[in-house]
Structure 1
Amino acid sequence: MCLLLGATGVGKTLLIKRLKKLSVHDGTGDLGDPPPTRPTVGTDLTDIMVNRQLTIRELGGCMGPIWPSYYGNCRALLFVLDASNPTQLSASCAHLLGLLSAEQLAEASVLILFNKTDLPCYMTVEEMKSLMRLPDIIACAKQSITTAEISAREGTGLAGVLRWLRDTHRASH
């Protein structure tokens, strides 16, 4: 099981829709226009193909307080941040630290996604990583942590996310 987590409005639903479409086309091809999305209330399960079926459970950002009840048997974690919204950074960092300190997630592989890199922002992703002390967080974490810059809207970096999911899913079986 893979969890897809992040604050409200960071682009989790669009990301999962894009990954599903991309996985059908083996990571290539035109994604077309972004499909419409609504904020996820509760939880949403999506199956995508990476070598074999992988179920991704998206949890709405407003469900942060009950995320821990979904940590059991989680082998991979996609954590999404909005790279166009630095004001949300401290709350996202607190969520991330909570995830990384959870005993049930000690064995999970973690991919931190800086989404919405296509939008203008007064801070670069490098500045955000520095501000949240991400290198220190990665150095101290038990988990294997990877970061990526993506745009779910444009499709940028999504083939790399699929590759990461494929490699992680293969290693966990």
Structure 2
Amino acid sequence: MGLLFAKLWSLFCNQEHKVIIVGLDNAGKTTILYQFLMNEVVHTSPTIGSNVEEIVVKNTHFLMWDIGGQESLRSSWNTYYSNTEFIILVVDSIDRERLSITKEELYRMLAHEDLRKAAVLIFANKQDMKGCMTAAEISKYLTLSSIKDHPWHIQSCCALTGEGLCQGLEWMTSRIGVR
């Protein structure tokens, strides 16, 4: 009986969870993905299309789709939405001028039928930069407190050092099975 339970448990635990990583161009999406994967900074160039990698955290498998954030690519984001459990929205904490665009894109995604059950992790990236907005400022600007139909969490981070990224992943793992 114990062996059967262990086998069933391992099947349950090794389930893959689809994650999309979105945000405007130059927010740090790809840097975050490869920081998760290799725990190091890799030289990146603008993502055309997507990168996909599997990240394993405490027996939890996340299939992470890093989607290009250039304006010309944002209209195709919805082709990645099917079966998505988590949205990671990466915000450039220095880029005050484009925060309104980030907000528009966030609420467009949250209104999409394929994402109605998705939880949202917002990474307030580039916290190491002088004059950056805090996570609280970004949260207020994006009116995150008005989001009632999606679990969400905002996390300060620095993609280059990895600071804050583990806390974001821990929040995601804590959401699995909670619905």
- TM-score, with structure 2 as normaliser: 0.81
- The answer to whether the 8 Å contact 2:124/2:134 transfers is no
Shift of 1:122: 5.8
Task: For 2:66 and 2:133, locate their aligned partners in 1 and report how far apart those are by CA, in whole Å.
Answer: 27
Are positions 1:148 and 2:155 aligned together?
yes
User: Which blocks of at least 5 consecutive residues in structure 1 are unaligned?
Assistant: 23-30
Structure 1 match to 2:6:
none
- The answer to whether the 8 Å contact 1:4/1:59 transfers is yes
- The answer to whether the 8 Å contact 1:118/1:154 transfers is no
Letter in 1 for 2:55: I
Structure 1 match to 2:104:
94
Task: For 1:122 and 1:57, locate their aligned partners in 2 and report how far apart those are by CA, in whole Å.
Answer: 26
Deviations 1:56-86 (A, max 9, x none): 0111002210111111100111011101111
Structure 1 match to 2:115:
105
Deviations 1:7-56 (A, max 9, x none): 1000000000111124xxxxxxxx5xx22111111111111112133210
Cα 1:44–1:128, aligned 2, differ >3 Å: closer, same or farther?
Answer: same
Secondary structure class of the residue paired with 2:124: strand
1:9 to 10, 26, 44: 26
Q: CA RMSD in A?
A: 1.7
Secondary structure class of the residue paired with 2:65: strand
Letter in 1 for 2:61: Q
Q: Where do residues 6-155 of structure 1 align in structure 2 (5 Å cutoff)?
A: 6-22=23-39, 31=40, 34-50=41-57, 51-62=59-70, 63-121=73-131, 123-136=133-146, 138=147, 141-155=148-162
Are positions 1:164 and 2:174 aligned together?
no
Letter in 2 for 1:4: I
Deviations 1:106-153 (A, max 9, x none): 1011101111111112644333332332322x2xx4111111111111
What is the number of residues matched between the two proteins? 158
Task: For 1:143 and 1:105, locate their aligned partners in 2 and report how far apart those are by CA, in whole Å.
Answer: 9
Secondary structure class of the residue paired with 2:88: strand
- TM-score, with structure 1 as normaliser: 0.84
Task: For 1:46 and 1:165, locate their aligned partners in 2 and report how far apart those are by CA, in whole Å.
Answer: 16
Task: For 2:101 and 2:32, locate their aligned partners in 1 and report how far apart those are by CA, in whole Å.
Answer: 20
Q: Which of the pair has more CA radius of gyration?
A: 2
Letter in 1 for 2:22: L
Larger RCO, structure (CA 8 Å, separation 6 or more) = 1
- The answer to whether the 8 Å contact 1:19/1:162 transfers is no
Task: For 2:66 and 2:28, locate their aligned partners in 1 and report how far apart those are by CA, in whole Å.
Answer: 11
**% identity of equivalent residues:** 27
Task: For 1:135 and 1:165, locate their aligned partners in 2 and report how far apart those are by CA, in whole Å.
Answer: 18
